Amino acid sequence: MKRKQIILSFMVALALSFTYSQSAHAALGGRSDTITSDQKALRAVHRATMSHTGYTVEMVVSDATTVREYVSSAGIVFGIAWDGYVNPDLTQLLGSFWGEYSSASKNSSRKFGRKHQQISTDNIVVEKWGHMRNLQGRAYVPSLIPTGVSIDEIK
């Protein structure tokens, strides 16, 4: 009986921590104030803010990865890009789009030998490429990209 209570308590704590971490980090599609939570989750430090016409880029750097978050003038994160030794935790960075990306990724056929992967859905595009110790990628929501901004600027 006691073992069941311990297991049940553990499962409840695990579910609550998962729920809290998912709601605390909106990332892609979220408001720019979520960048601080992304920074903490990635164990990164804020390195720079670069202003461009119609958007800003917030760059955070960890020991293994550099992540750039593209924020519209309305304060919404419309794209992310990364490079480094490892891919970042996309669960964190894709926020509410993670489920859609995960489902599409499971349903896509894997092409062995290809170093470029692109997953596109109705709402999000995620691209990954590179090789060991030099992994890169980007993700964006086409409907959130500000007018006059090209997807080629998300890099």
Provide the 10 A C-beta neighbour count for residue 57.
19
> Among 13-27, 48-62, 141-155, whose mean pLDDT is lowest?
13-27
Q: How far apart are CA 28 and CA 94, in angstroms?
A: 5
Quote the pLDDT of residue 20.
Answer: 34
Q: What is the pLDDT of residue 105?
A: 87
Output 45 or 12, whichever has higher pLDDT. Answer: 45
Per-residue tokens: 153: 């600027």
Give tens-digit pLDDT for 54-104. Answer: 899 988 888 888 989 999 999 999 999 999 998 888 988 898 999 999 999
Better-scored residue on pLDDT, 133 or 96: 96
pLDDT in tens, 25-60: 347 888 766 656 655 666 656 566 787 888 999 888
Distance CA 58, CA 55 (A): 10
Residue 64 near residue 85, CB atoms below 8 Å: yes
Tokens encoding 137: 């990628």
For residue 144, give both structure tokens: 């959130």
Question: Count of alpha carbons within 13 Å of 105, Cβ hemisphere only?
Answer: 14
- Cβ proximity of 104 and 63 under 8 Å: no
